Structure 1
């Protein structure tokens, strides 16, 4: 794999996003490799999976440059299917998962972090569900994972605002479970490995079963709305403004 690094140490697997020159922006190849890594981990002896990013941040989200280059509808559907499978796999994975956020976790990157069982962020982390800035809706199960953590009302506000939050702000809202550094990861791993982890995983799978249909419905609707929003003038303006590094002027069309 080129953009994903998978390693094992004892009963812990680590998946690293490895496109540091793009702040680990998620393109089609990287998403496919991430799904492959999750499938490999699923059948491994690991009990805990850590997901993190190499370089200066966790992930800047979907690769906007790739988005601009591809207007092919078939390609869009394929990418959204891969994103769907990643979200479902993380939700149902018979392992305990930790995301470690340093630097930026935005858009799809933040959805990925929230899909994990436990989110640790360092003090310098900045997170944003910022799809609104380019006239889109969250994907990767972002609506589902936000709601799971903080409920409908607060989730809508965060999606609509699309603002960048500090680690402390995200922690106070309930999006991040712990503010800490590398040592915090090891402490959580040590804590979990000292417990009857089979029972912990069973509880995770029970909750995953209870909410599976809701997640699948959410992912289906996200794909449909994302396709619809990609055809709006506001999306075109959002992308143009992003590339020109200026404030967008939305028309509601």
Structure 2
């Protein structure tokens, strides 16, 4: 009998060395975010913050980081909560940003809400050919406010407008030139991301929180 791949753990989480590692685990669907994955992701991020973990590493299984919202799945309408999928994506982005330090490791396509998750991290590492794209406006949606705010602060309003509106495909190399990501070769991505997260965790947590507040005020 064929099993439903969405019945398993769609988001993996473990904590060690002062780092909460959260892994999107729906590789057959390019880690597209349906309601089950989003609920598990939000739950994992909440649990890590409630446990007092200050550093989070976000990564994904398979060749894609995250293909964005799974628009072929229920957005919450079937359970009487239309728009729930978008609200959960926004909550996940807010939770990622709430960590005093976070690292996103992007090995492949990061589209729409997937790119929003990466933008929410303190530092994003990406392979040179990782692909980033925001198709939201073409689909009739605005990007999350938090994403707009962070991109504007990072690259200025004109560049942020192009990134969000043009529906272009940007590589890791493209975004590195804008200062949005650090480029890492594919073979080194996992190690470099883990090492950076552990470096953040080794710093005095109270000073990290204070510095993060100063930088984002």
Q: Given the two structures, how large is their TM-score scaled by the length of structure 2?
A: 0.84
Q: Deviations over 1:188-235 (max 9, x none)?
A: 234324433431122224555x3xxxxxxxxxxxxxxxxxxxxxxxxx
Q: Which runs of 5+ in 1 are unaligned?
A: 211-253
Q: State whether structure 2 residue 84 is matched by structure 1 residue 75.
A: no
Q: Deviations over 1:6-65 (max 9, x none)?
A: 012221110000110100000112111111111110022533210011111110000021
Q: State whether structure 2 residue 53 is matched by structure 1 residue 55.
A: no
Cα offset for 1:140? 6.7
**What residue in structure 2 maps to residue 146 of structure 1?**
151
2:72 to 65, 85, 103: 65
Cα offset for 1:175? 2.1
Whether the 8 Å contact between 1:83 and 1:140 is mirrored in structure 2 is no
- Is 193-202 or 96-105 further displaced after alignment? 193-202
Tell me, what secondary structure is at the counterpart of 2:82? Answer: helix
RMSD of aligned alpha carbons: 2.4
Cα offset for 1:159? 1.5
1:189 to 190, 197, 207: 197
2:98 to 92, 97, 110: 92
Whether the 8 Å contact between 2:172 and 2:183 is mirrored in structure 1 is no
**What residue in structure 2 maps to residue 170 of structure 1?**
175
Whether the 8 Å contact between 2:126 and 2:184 is mirrored in structure 1 is yes
Whether the 8 Å contact between 1:8 and 1:14 is mirrored in structure 2 is yes
Q: Provide the rounded CA distance (Å) in 1 between the counterparts of 2:129 and 2:182.
A: 15
**What residue in structure 2 maps to residue 19 of structure 1?**
26
CA 1:11/1:64 → structure 2, altered by over 3 Å: closer, same or farther? same
1:35 to 32, 42, 46: 42
Q: Which runs of 5+ in 2 are unaligned?
A: 1-7
**What residue in structure 2 maps to residue 236 of structure 1?**
none
CA 1:182/1:87 → structure 2, altered by over 3 Å: closer, same or farther? closer
Q: How many residues align?
A: 207
Cα offset for 1:117? 0.4
Cα offset for 1:129? 1.7
Whether the 8 Å contact between 1:167 and 1:176 is mirrored in structure 2 is yes
Q: Given the two structures, how large is their TM-score scaled by the length of structure 1?
A: 0.73
Whether the 8 Å contact between 2:131 and 2:169 is mirrored in structure 1 is yes
Q: State whether structure 2 residue 209 is matched by structure 1 residue 201.
A: yes
Q: State whether structure 2 residue 127 is matched by structure 1 residue 107.
A: no
Whether the 8 Å contact between 1:12 and 1:50 is mirrored in structure 2 is yes
Whether the 8 Å contact between 2:17 and 2:201 is mirrored in structure 1 is no
Cα offset for 1:184? 1.8
Structure 1 residue ranges, 4+ long, deviating more than 6 angstroms after superposition: none
- The structure with the larger Rg is 1
Higher helix fraction: Structure 1 or Structure 2?
1
